[in-house]
Structure 1
Amino acid sequence: MTTLLNYQRGGSGATVILIHGLFGAMDNLNILAKHLQQKFDVIQVDVRNHGDSFHHSSMDYEDLAMDIFNLLDHLNVERCHVVGHSMGGKIAMQCALTQPNRIHSLIVADIAPVQYPPHHKQILSGLKAIDPQTINQRKDADNLLAEYEPALGVRQFLLKNLVKSEQGYQWRANIDNIANAYHQITKPVKNDAQYTGPVLFIKGGNSDYITNENRAAIGKRFPHAKARVITNAGHWLHAEKPQEFNRIVEQFIEKNEV
């Protein structure tokens, strides 16, 4: 029996699936989901090893894309629009390249289909240094993580994965699996195929995740790709400029709804 991703679904109309990034969960894209649900059938997912989804040792993009298709099959969704942020954008791209006939349109938020340097190693070391069983209050975990990550906002985001139960604190995400498979997460999107449908890359103006050097890699896989830049926004553009981000996504989906 196929193990399915944890998901939420709401709204009606054409189906849109939203895929969050590394260390995140489906609620990262709640603002976008609530906006789109006014016009569309919106599915939010927790990627494997994240949120309340199942845990697995592989974080290979072909496997992550198959998780999406298994859920769509379970929900009897033949075709959909797909929106992904960061790692979720890579998963979305892999979906479009693997089964292009099932993707109406592709929207990628601040990521390219390329190899990235391993710039989360310090964060992973910090997360692994936290033993939830020894944590009495969230501040204890923050103090430990501060030795590895100075930015409070980043720490607050990461520590959303630390949840309290009757047994005490525990990790919601599988930190060990993510750390062990991190080399897979940094890899480029696989597949020499092309997706010739409509594609929009949305870049944060202050972010360096998409560069001019990435144009060739994007054009090779997505020959009809267009780009939008949200000024004064970084990698978390959907949270920093939600109204502009939501409007861009909504308009692109409406334009390409068939």
Structure 2
Amino acid sequence: MLRWARAWRLPFGRPGPSCPSFPGVSVAPSGSGNGGGAEPRPLRLSYTLLDGEPARPALVFLHGLFGCKTNFNSIAKALAQQTGRRVLTVDARNHGDSPHSPDMSYEAMSQDLQDLLLQLGLAPCVLVGHSMGGKTAMLLALQRPELVERLIAVDISPMVTTSVSDFPTYMAAMRAVAIPAEVPRSRARKLADEQLSSVIKDVAVRQFLLTNLVEVDGRFVWRVNLDALAQHVDTIMAFPPRQDSYLGPTLFLLGANSRFVHPSHYPEIRRLFPRAQMQTVPNAGHWVHADRPQDFVAAIRGFLA
């Protein structure tokens, strides 16, 4: 029987059908950045944990840029029921119900997750990361391989992805949105969609971005920390240089219609992840889990087997 084992949110967090409906506006203390070679100070991330057999490695899902933990709700429930494992979904810093911080480095995001895994007693785990979450997962596996039983990187590689990503354009369009105060939510969402549509033509992408539009004290704002994301967009699109490799089983799960992972990336993938397998999901774009959820679940189950 599926049970919601534990969920931590900021005191004002409320779960919603797609992403939580209120922003995590806590700010990390000054000095939480990764400057001067100091270890990044971890943040207390928001998460949801589905119960399962403690003897088997848990599945841990990390969302991509502009996403949140509830992007994986139906997939997490399906895998918890089908595999009997614990399933953890996590909001990255500056996303969902997790606190905001000026630091958006992968080192900081990896440290956040390391602390959470150890706090919950979920190491070693099966780490599943999409896009930005996939880069966080890859770095954690390279830094602390003992915490990762196996790794799944979803439509991302340990390479710079600026040339194929429209995320900088999305950020600029989101920052330009202006909504009058005290308008109804339905009107606010329509206004925001109209303003985004001049730059972002894909309706599905706009709807995804609009899951981050929330009301705070009668004003509509973006729940993600756009200032930090925009300031560090080059860092998010890149990947920290690494010499060590992760020797555990690794799956790169790619969308057939996506351009994020190019064959020219394969040598670096093989260098860092010698046991890597490549699998392509037909009729899927960059958001593989949203485009083909059943195929996504089947691929994960096949890799676990």
Q: Given the two structures, how large is their TM-score scaled by the length of structure 2?
A: 0.80
| Structure 2 residue 170 is the aligned partner of structure 1 residue 126 | no
Cα deviation, residue 77, structure 1: 2.4
Cα deviation, residue 163, structure 1: 1.3
Q: Deviations over 1:113-142 (max 9, x none)?
A: 001226322211111012455473211111
Equivalences for residues 87-166 of structure 1 within 5 A: 87-117=132-162, 119-131=166-178, 134=181, 136=183, 137-166=188-217
Question: Percent of aligned positions with the same letter in both sequences?
Answer: 37
Which residue number corresponds to residue 86 of structure 1?
A: 131
- Residue pair 1:125, 1:148 contacting (<8 A) in 2 also: no
Which residue number corresponds to residue 221 of structure 1?
A: 272
Which residue number corresponds to residue 222 of structure 2?
A: 171
Report the Cα distance in structure 2 between the residues aligned to 1:79 and 1:58, rounded to whole angstroms: 26
Cα deviation, residue 252, structure 1: 1.4
Q: Which moved more, 1:183-192 or 1:53-62?
A: 183-192
Which residue number corresponds to residue 188 of structure 1?
A: 239
Residue 242 of structure 1 aligns to which amino acid in structure 2? P
Report the Cα distance in structure 1 between the residues aligned to 2:194 and 2:153, rounded to whole angstroms: 34
Which residue number corresponds to residue 21 of structure 1?
A: 64
| Structure 2 residue 290 is the aligned partner of structure 1 residue 239 | yes
Which residue number corresponds to residue 6 of structure 1?
A: 46
- Residue pair 1:133, 1:170 contacting (<8 A) in 2 also: no
Residue 139 of structure 2 aligns to which amino acid in structure 1? Q
Structure 1: runs of 5+ lacking an equivalent: none
Q: Describe the shift of the 1:236–1:78 C-alpha distance in structure 2 as closer, same or farther (beyond 3 A).
A: closer
- Residue pair 1:98, 1:191 contacting (<8 A) in 2 also: no
Q: CA RMSD in A?
A: 1.6
Structure 2: runs of 5+ lacking an equivalent: 1-40
Q: Given the two structures, how large is their TM-score scaled by the length of structure 1?
A: 0.93
Report the Cα distance in structure 2 between the residues aligned to 1:153 and 1:6, rounded to whole angstroms: 26
Number of aligned positions between the proteins? 254
